[in-house]
């Protein structure tokens, strides 16, 4: 095969010689009968359906080929994606099908880590160009679809408007804190335990760790109309080396959840 579209690494995959012969120049589409050797693949007289795990990879490779090869350089074909089984090509134009099926595959089998790594290796070690549909899957919809990404697969859960947002000014001085431990109690300031040096607390319903410079945190999942109490302890270090600023100067505040 001459150098160019036929040797473009973004569209080449290792394949069993018998399976590759069976696929031949058939378009990519859904349907057909199971292939006896290529498990999960289907074929008929003019189309080939790959296994589910690589459908998106193949679709994005075809999107790339159609975009990369426009026939505007000597010896290069003009490759075009069509929304039907294309048959033979002519006059230097290569037709790739079937767009509807490949768009479905593109959405159902999104880019994964292996495909991203392959794109990076081709770019950095061999061909020095990228498949933009791996880096930006949304490009396919902008070019061939309605320009819109598909809707999310599921709904959000645990929605609650009962929150309290705390804001403060960072401590100053020669030794600045690495962050702050914000502790909350629904019953009173006296029920907020003073943290002990060497003991770090994970983020949970009652405790939030906030890095220096943020100056803000949100407590959610609260009961509307109830008053909550907070104390903010600056600290240096982390893990077993954490040291808290405690004492009478610790900032404290109460607020009602809305």
Q: Are residues 183 and 223 in the same domain?
A: yes
pLDDT in tens, the chain (258 residues): 456 888 999 999 999 999 999 999 899 999 899 999 999 999 999 999 999 999 999 999 999 999 999 988 888 889 999 888 876 555 557 888 899 999 999 989 999 999 999 999 999 999 999 999 999 998 998 898 765 555 667 776 665 558 899 999 998 888 999 999 999 999 999 999 999 999 999 999 999 999 999 999 999 889 989 999 999 999 999 989 999 999 999 999 999 998
Distance CA(234)–CA(101), nearest Å, equals 57
For the chain, the domain total comes to: 2
Q: Are residues 104 and 199 in the same domain?
A: no
Q: Are residues 29 and 61 in the same domain?
A: yes
The number of beta carbons lying within 10 Å of the beta carbon of residue 47 is 20
Q: Are residues 128 and 17 in the same domain?
A: yes
Question: Is 84 part of a structural domain of the chain?
Answer: yes
Which of left, alpha, beta for 182 (phi over 0: left; psi -120 to 50: alpha)?
A: beta
CA angle 177, 182, 187 (to 5 degrees): 150
The alpha carbon of residue 206 and the mean position of all alpha carbons in its chain are separated, in whole angstroms, by 30
Taking the CA atoms of 200, 204, 210 and 215 in sequence, report the sign of the dihedral they define: negative
Indicate whether this model's pTM tops 0.85.
no
Q: Are residues 170 and 67 in the same domain?
A: no
Q: Are residues 168 and 132 in the same domain?
A: no
Q: Are residues 250 and 177 in the same domain?
A: yes
Q: Which of 144, 175, 205 is the last residue of a domain?
A: 144
Q: Which of 116, 144, 172 is the last residue of a domain?
A: 144
247 is in which domain, residue-wise? 164-256
Distance CA(86)–CA(99), nearest Å, equals 11
User: Which of these, 152, 142, 68, lies nearest to 110 by C-alpha position?
Assistant: 152
Give the contacts of 233 (CB within 8 A, at least 6 positions apart).
Answer: 180, 181, 182, 183, 194, 195, 244, 245, 246, 250
Question: Is 156 part of a structural domain of the chain?
Answer: no
Reduced to 3 states, what is the DSSP secondary structure of residue 116? helix
Give the contacts of 192 (CB within 8 A, at least 6 positions apart).
Answer: 183, 184, 185, 229, 230, 231, 252
Question: Is 153 part of a structural domain of the chain?
Answer: no
State the CATH number of the domain containing residue 241.
2.60.40
Distance CA(33)–CA(27), nearest Å, equals 15
Distance CA(216)–CA(254), nearest Å, equals 15
Distance CA(103)–CA(110), nearest Å, equals 11
Q: What pLDDT score does 251 carry?
A: 94
Q: Are residues 22 and 116 in the same domain?
A: yes
Q: Are residues 229 and 111 in the same domain?
A: no
């Amino acid at each position: 095969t001459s150098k160019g579209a036929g040797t473009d690494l973004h569209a080449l995959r290792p394949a069993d010689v018998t399976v590759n012969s069976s696929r031949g120049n058939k378009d990519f589409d859904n349907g057909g009968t199971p292939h006896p050797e290529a498990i999960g693949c289907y074929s008929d007289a003019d189309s080939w359906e790959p296994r589910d795990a690589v459908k998106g990879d193949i679709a994005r490779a075809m999107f790339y080929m159609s975009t990369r090869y426009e026939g505007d350089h000597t010896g290069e074909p003009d490759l075009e994606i069509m929304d039907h089984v294309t048959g033979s090509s002519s006059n230097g134009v290569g037709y790739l099908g079937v767009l509807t099926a490949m768009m479905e595959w593109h959405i159902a089998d999104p880019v994964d880590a292996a495909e991203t790594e392959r794109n990076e290796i081709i770019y950095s070690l061999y061909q020095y160009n990228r498949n933009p549909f791996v880096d930006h899957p949304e490009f396919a919809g902008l070019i061939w679809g309605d320009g819109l990404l598909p809707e999310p697969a599921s709904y959000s859960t645990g929605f609650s408007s009962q929150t309290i947002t705390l804001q403060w000014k960072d401590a100053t001085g020669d030794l600045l804190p690495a962050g702050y431990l914000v502790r909350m109690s629904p019953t009173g300031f006296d029920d907020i335990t003073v943290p002990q040096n060497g003991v770090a607390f994970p983020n949970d319903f009652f405790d939030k760790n906030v890095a220096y410079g943020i100056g803000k945190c949100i407590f959610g999942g609260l009961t509307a109309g109830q008053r909550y109490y907070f104390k903010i302890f600056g600290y240096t270090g982390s893990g077993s080396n954490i040291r808290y600023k405690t004492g009478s100067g610790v900032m404290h505040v109460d607020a009602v959840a809305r």
